[in-house]
Structure 1
Amino acid sequence: MIMRPGQQLLLPANPFFIWFSLIVAMLANMLPLGRTPWMPDLVALTLVFWSVHQPLRIGIGAAFLFGIAMDVHQATLLGQHALAYTALSFFAITIHRRLLWFTVPSQAVQVLPLFFASHAIELAIRLIAGGMFPGVSIMLAPVIEALLWPVVSIILLAPQRRAPDPDENRPL
C-alpha cells in the first residue's frame, strides 16, 4: 500500500490486544451506569475501529457475537444489537481502504453516518417490537462516538507505533 508522506509505519497488530480491547469495551458498556439514550456504544466504536484497521482479523462474525452478548446483557430483543453491529462492521469493512487515506479528524466525520445507521437500526427494531421512543437525545450518541474516534485511534494504535529496536541511526 502506498503511504502518505510523513505517515508512520506501524507494527503488526497483536491479536491478543485486539480481542482484549474489544472485551474491555464490552465490559465498559456493561458498567451499571444506567443506560441513557445519549451514552456512546463503546463496543460499536471499537468494532468499527478494528474493522477499519484489521478487517481480516475482526469481521462480521465477531460483530455478531458481541452483538448477541450485548443483547443478552441488556435484556433487549435478541438480535437487536447483533444486527446493528453486523451492519456496522460490514459497512466499516466496505470503506476501510478509502477511510485510511484520510486524517483522523476526517475519518471521524466519515464514520459518523455509520454510527447514525447503527443507532437507527437499533431504534427501528425496538420500535417495531413495540418499545417506546427514547427521545431525541438518542441522536447525541453517534455524535459522541464520532468525537471519541480520535481518542480511540490514539489509544488503540499506541502499541503499534513503538519502534521494534529504537536506534538513533534508524528512523523506523
Structure 2
Amino acid sequence: MNNRAAHNRWIIWLLLLVGILLQIMPWSSTIYMIKPNWLLLILVYWTLALPNCIGIAMAFFIGIVLDLFSGTVLGGHAFALSIIAYLSLFKFQLIRNLAIWQQLLIIILLSICYDLLLFFIEILINHSITMIPMLFLSSIVNGILWPWVFLLMRQIRRHFWIY
C-alpha cells in the first residue's frame, strides 16, 4: 500500500459522517417509512471493500455516534450495526463476487435484519410493541438504491486510491 492510499482513509470517515447526517435528517411522516438507511448502505460497502480496515469495532463506534445524534437508546444502533457488520464480514468474499442484483437481495436481507434488531431492542427497552407493516418498506428502498450507492462508493474509492 502506498502513502497516498494510507492518507486518503479520511475519506471513509467523511463518508460515514455524511451517512450519519443523512440518517438523522428530519423527514416528513409520510416519507419516513421509505427513508433509506444511508449509514447502513455506506457501512456495508466499506466492510465489503476494505474488510481489514472497516470492521465490527468501527460499526459499533459509528452506531454509538448515531445513537448520540439521534437521541435513541444508547447502544441500540451500535449493537444492530455491529451484527450487520459481522454478517457482511462473515462472507465478504462471496458477497463481493456476486452480481449486483444478487448483492441487492443480500442488502435487502441485511436491512430487514437491521430493522428487526432495532424492533426487538425497542421491545426489550420500552416493553411496547409498535409494529407497522410498512416497517420493511425501507429495506426494499435500500435494495433498490444499492447499485447506485455501490457504484458511487467504488468510484470514490478508485478516485482517491483507497485500498
Using the size of structure 1 for normalisation, the TM-score is: 0.80
> For 1:158, which of 146, 155, 158 is the aligned residue?
155
> For 1:38, which of 34, 38, 46 is the aligned residue?
34
| Misfit runs of 4+, over 6 Å | none
Does structure 1 residue 25 correspond to structure 2 residue 22?
A: no
* Residues 12, 159 of structure 1: alpha-carbon distance in 2 compared, 3 angstrom cutoff: farther
> For 1:146, which of 122, 143, 148 is the aligned residue?
143
Cα root mean square deviation, aligned: 2.1
Q: Cα offset for 1:147?
A: 1.1
Distance 1:160 1:61 in 2: 21
Q: Relative to total residues, which structure has the larger helix share, 1 or 2?
A: 2
Gapped regions of structure 1 (runs ≥ 5): 1-10, 165-172
Gapped regions of structure 2 (runs ≥ 5): none
Q: Is the 8 A contact 1:52 1:92 kept in 2?
A: yes
Amino acid at match of 1:138: L
Amino acid at match of 2:113: A
Does structure 1 residue 52 correspond to structure 2 residue 42?
A: no
* Residues 70, 85 of structure 1: alpha-carbon distance in 2 compared, 3 angstrom cutoff: same
SS across alignment from 1:29: helix
Q: Is the 8 A contact 1:37 1:135 kept in 2?
A: no
Distance 2:145 2:7 in 1: 21
Q: Cα offset for 1:12?
A: 9.0
Query: Which has the larger displacement, 129-138 or 77-86?
Result: 129-138
Q: How many residue pairs get matched? A: 153
Look up the match of 1:75.
71
